[in-house]
Amino acid sequence: MVMLTILNYLVLRKYSAMVNRLILIFFIGLVLTGFGFGTEKIHVRFESVNGLVAKDRVMFDGTAIGNVKKISYGDDGIFTVSLSISNDFKDFLTEHSRFTIVSDPHDGSRMAVEVMKVRIGGTPLKNGSSVEGSNKYQVLLEMMKDDAKDGIGFLKKEYQRFSNELKSLSEHEKVTKLKETIARLGQELAKESRETRDKIASEIIPMLEKEIEALREELEALGRGEEVEPLEKELEKIKYI
């Protein structure tokens, strides 16, 4: 009887060890395939990723809520960015969520995907949903149209971020950045109604004029003040789109 008990113990111990190994292998497999418990998977389509890479963070209002799991490039020339977002933040994922690529607010050497809500409520996104990515101007215009107060608050926050980013650039880089910003803004405004364009332009253009004027002062000190003239001309065109 004692011998039988010992044999049973050894068999059970061996069986238990085997089960533990199988469980370990199973979880390792889940990690390697990118699966995780307590996360939501969202796939976002972007025309460009601006240096975004796997493991960069997903942010909401300055808080990390997930990370980039994978980026793939399709035959249609579109990037699909697969996100893993903590289940604790799944309420932020609705039909009114917008996804943009930005500089990581806590690590300027990396990029991040920022999630923004343009309206409260909305139908929740299903796990594994595919959505279209946005740029900052699209989100800004949408917010300004639907809720002027929230839109202006968002605009002021983004302007401060933009202004701080410019401060870290060389004069040449500032000219390039402002030129790109004005061109993109003009493209987005051209898609909107006159009423919306006027409202947006009345808020944004003075901010850009302020940055151009500051840049002019820097360049004039270097004898290069004429470099801002093309920026002023392009900004003036936006007023009459």
Residue 6 — very low, low, confident or very high, per pLDDT cuts 50/70/90? very low
Q: Does the reported pTM lie above 0.75?
A: no
On the 0-12 / 13-18 / 19+ scale of CB atoms within 10 A, 237 is exposed
Residue 143 — very low, low, confident or very high, per pLDDT cuts 50/70/90? confident
Mean pLDDT: which of 47-61, 148-162, 165-179, 227-241 is highest?
Answer: 47-61
Share of the chain above pLDDT 90, in %: 36
**What pLDDT is attached to residue 27?**
42
Q: What is the mean pLDDT of residues 113-134?
A: 91
Q: What is the mean pLDDT of residues 95-99?
A: 93
**What pLDDT is attached to residue 147?**
56
Lowest-pLDDT choice from 26-30, 118-122, 131-135: 26-30
**What pLDDT is attached to residue 29?**
44
Decide: 68 and 56 in contact? Cβ < 8 Å: yes
